[in-house]
Chain A
């Protein structure tokens, strides 16, 4: 190849790379960082990829999972190594594809799916889609998750190149966007979103009459796909309903899930039925009036659920195993620091 030919081809290639580099930089700057100014739930799905894949239990679901289940407490109390793969308004099919995605990295002994999301048959918000899907690592599962989740005005290209979606954030950039240009803080505790404040449960609107007693067909199909996927991978699927008082969980739905679980020999725990046994006090154990538990509530739930997982599902106690100890020691430190910081902030706010 002559020098002139080389130059003719090299110039556009280098120029193209330069353009790509600048665009990648802009993309990094403009995408939401989910570190405080923007809802932090958006950062949680992505954090999974930075952890050692040493989990015996994976929890799947929406806020009822990531705000109620505390893996660090499950570890401390029972030596259960677990992780929550949950995000805001996480839809059933998103949980399914997150399960597919998780199985690319590890094969847990059990997967716990929170059934509340089964009631939602359609994508409700692009912003929630983004918080779940943007954090997923690229794989066929992510592509399928996007395809299944996209609303009418969404486009696959905008998921591939988030700059196209978030370009107009140039007018809302904050210090956070520059601070977290190169790195992100770890904001969850093995997928758990910690809150230490208290807001006692109040009254909720009367539940509306159901137009249909059954849960939507499409979400039940994804539940079935989840069951088959678990079965094919030798993973036990456990169903749970978190002890969140609202949105209302109807008896008809509960009966349907019970019947489904019985049909396939799955365990189903509706924690709303055993709040007394768990020891939940909704005047103290919730931070938003009964929708989600605070740390005190999550610790009680972990103690109760951990016992079930050990006694009925024979999950091993890993506390004596060196490979797990390092990982969980780090998690415990992060958890304690986070809790102390939140308590300090709470005290400071109360004083003010």
Chain B
């Protein structure tokens, strides 16, 4: 059930009332029932995979700590659990990608036979709950905390409905602090939650879904929209992706807060980043830290990586060996990040290009430092602005591989930036031919200004929490303004086909 459906909003209101009326010890049970009921509504077939992951993770977690097992058996239980959780994700998400590529090879070899595609569904949120399950198993294995002995509690951790479809990718030790707690109704928290939810809806319905109309026009017929339109597509997609994903996370965090559950933040002003590396520290932070903690660090600690490090060390020295293995691990992580975002070569290319910019930036750092020593350019006032603008441009170009489904098509469109000189047409009549009216552009501009202002306030420590605590009148004014803006200027209801949240597809 979509966050933007009337039914979902009604259910949340009802759940909130019931949640604070029932005895506190049953509150987490209500969340578990609601999570599974809503998940079932999204599709009956999905639930078997969620159940399977939950059972595997539970048994593996308990098994690897069981004193009845030897050390080796405990390790085997851990590896088996890990492989089964990951296996489910790989089979469901990547089987048909493999078939597609095998058929491509068969076609290239002029072989007559073709492998049939499998009729597989991609369970909602499988990428998110699988990563949470793997994180849990690795933490238990690393003795960060004890395994959860109650399977239903673990089931709630993996299925918690606000977060299951688009994250954030929570850690068990963090989420469990509030997920199973006994919560009392508190106006302050409710106010803060409401503000956060409304802010999310504002970003999603007023900005993301409005700009999506123009973007969809271009994505549907990429051949017709080259040159200057690609610049528009970059701007539109940057706005849509940010407003859609951060809006979705705001709603998620706000809804969780209604039930007293604290979820981790997933964004920290990513468009104010001065480098690609910094951008990825601020964008989808829970995914970044997941890859860092559960893939990058284990890779760097792996025996085979140690051997490579030793080999390189003998030939080129210690410093080079460290850089080599770090870069190798970075490439693997970004390959995984790319493929996690979608089973396509476009995503793989996107991941590798991100990796290229990160590695290149790290490798070129000594050159930049020397240049800075000579010229002092990093201390100039304009440098941060330039660095932010540079990162925005690089990320906008890279995001085109997310926006358009085919790698060849994306490259063609990026090439047309220099070959199709229709910028005059785009600026005069083209911008109004994408399904957006002048009024839409005005609303978008005002919306973006508001988001930007809020980001600036946040950077100065004026958060919604602070506002809702300090001034009743101001928070009331904000609630009213947001309600009115969302209800009046939102892209929803009859005649609109509101886009699903972009990150739901993972």
Using a CB–CB cutoff of 8 Å, the interface residues on chain A facing chain B are: 8, 11-12, 15, 18-19, 22-23, 26, 30, 126, 153-155, 157-158, 163-165, 167-168, 170-171
Contacts and interface: CB of A to CB of B under 8 A. Distances in A.
Given A8-B187, A11-B472, A168 B495 contact: yes
A171 B493 contact: no
A26 B484 contact: yes
A155 B472 CA distance: 35
Nearest to A7: B472
Contacts, number: 52
Given A23-B487, A171-B437, A18 B480 contact: yes
A12 B472 CA distance: 10
A154 B439 contact: no
B336 interface: no
Given A164-B6, A170-B489, 12 more contacts: A18-B476, A22-B480, A153-B494, A155-B493, A155-B494, A158-B493, A158-B494, A167-B487, A167-B489, A168-B495, A168-B496, A170-B488
A261 B370 CA distance: 99
B479 interface: yes
A19 B6 contact: no
A23 B480 CA distance: 9
B493 A164 contact: yes
Contact of B483 (A12, A19, A30, A158): A19
B187 A167 contact: no
Interface of B: 6, 10, 187, 437, 439, 472, 476, 479-480, 483-484, 487-490, 492-496
Contacts of A164: 6, 487, 492-493
Given A155-B6, A171-B437, A19 B187 contact: no
A26 B488 contact: yes
A22 B484 CA distance: 8
Contact of A171 (B439, B480, B496): B439
B476 A15 contact: yes
Nearest to B497: A153
Given A12-B187, A155-B6, A171-B437, A23 B484 contact: yes
A167 B437 contact: no
B495 A163 contact: no
B480 A19 contact: yes
A153 B472 CA distance: 39
A154 B494 contact: yes
A26 B487 contact: yes
Given A11-B472, A158-B494, A163 B479 contact: no
Nearest to B191: A12
Contacts of B437: 171
A171 to B, nearest CB: 5
A19 B478 CA distance: 11
19 contacts: A12-B187, A15-B476, A15-B479, A18-B480, A22-B484, A23-B484, A26-B487, A154-B494, A155-B6, A155-B493, A155-B494, A157-B10, A158-B494, A163-B488, A164-B6, A164-B492, A167-B493, A168-B496, A170-B489
Contacts of B487: 23, 26, 163-164, 167
Contacts of B490: 167
A18 B487 CA distance: 16
Contacts of A15: 476, 479
Most chain B CB neighbours (cut-off 10 Å) among A154, A164, A168, A170: A168
Contacts of B472: 11
Contacts of A26: 484, 487-488
Nearest to B190: A12
- In order of increasing CB-CB distance, the 4 nearest A-B pairs are A157-B6, A171-B439, A15-B476, A167-B488
Contacts of B492: 164, 167
B494 A165 contact: yes
A21 to B, nearest CB: 10
Contacts of A158: 6, 493-494
Nearest to A153: B494
B138 to A, nearest CB: 44
Contacts of A163: 487-488
Nearest to A160: B6
Contact of B494 (A8, A12, A30, A126): A126
Contacts of B476: 15, 18
B473 to A, nearest CB: 9
A30 B484 CA distance: 12
Contacts of A8: 187
